[in-house]
Amino acid sequence: MRWMVLLLMATLSAFPCHAQVTKKEDRFTGATTYAYESKFSTKHHEFVLLPASLFVHATYTPDKPESFSMMILTNSSIGRAGRGGWRYLGVNSINWLVDGRPFQLAQVAVQRNTQRGFVTEAFVQPLTREQASILGAASSVEFRIGQDEFQLSANDISALAEIATTVAPE
């Protein structure tokens, strides 16, 4: 039994944990944008999974300040008779824990939109390079929107580290 655990640990550690960060250069403005996308879900109220996506963006444009942001996009279905959907209607902030300690970030911008049969709620979290570096160097990053808790994966954290160290003038 012990050898099976060791074999499993060795097998899992053999897979690299690299984030898929993309780079895009704008020929017209000179802007360089780095982006990362991840999908995850959280369990709330026993049986319901709430799908969410994480987008990390960083842009460097000559003669302009660099820009970093994270967007958490949630989708909720609208049930019969229009019930459900607006899971975070009264929520305008995100609480963060980095390595188990509270971590303060700027106020989020919240965008809400209805689609056919579901609603999207986007929380855009502005970051500085230093904050992106702190998140990227963490062992664990958790956040709470309303009463729902989420945790970034190792790939998500790796992407933040890569973006924080990559975005710079060339």
**Residue, of 14 and 160, whose pLDDT is higher:** 160
What tens digit of pLDDT does each residue of 4-21 get? 222 223 322 333 334 588
The predicted structure's pLDDT at residue 168: 57
Q: Using the predicted structure, report yes or no on whether residue 42 has a pLDDT greater than 80.
A: no
Residue 89's region, left for phi above 0, alpha for psi from -120 to 50, else beta, is: alpha
Across residues 122-130, what is the average pLDDT?
A: 92
What tens digit of pLDDT does each residue of 69-111 get? 999 988 777 765 555 667 888 899 999 999 999 999 999 999 9
Pair 76, 114: CB distance under 8 Å = no
**Residue, of 75 and 151, whose pLDDT is higher:** 151
Q: Which band of pLDDT confidence, cut at 50, 70 and 90, is reported for residue 60?
A: confident
Q: Using the predicted structure, report yes or no on whether residue 140 has a pLDDT greater than 70.
A: yes
Instruction: List the domains of the chain with CATH numbers.
Output: 18-166 (2.60.40)
The predicted structure's pLDDT at residue 6: 26
The whole-angstrom separation of Cα 68 and Cα 59 is 7
Across residues 24-35, what is the average pLDDT?
A: 80
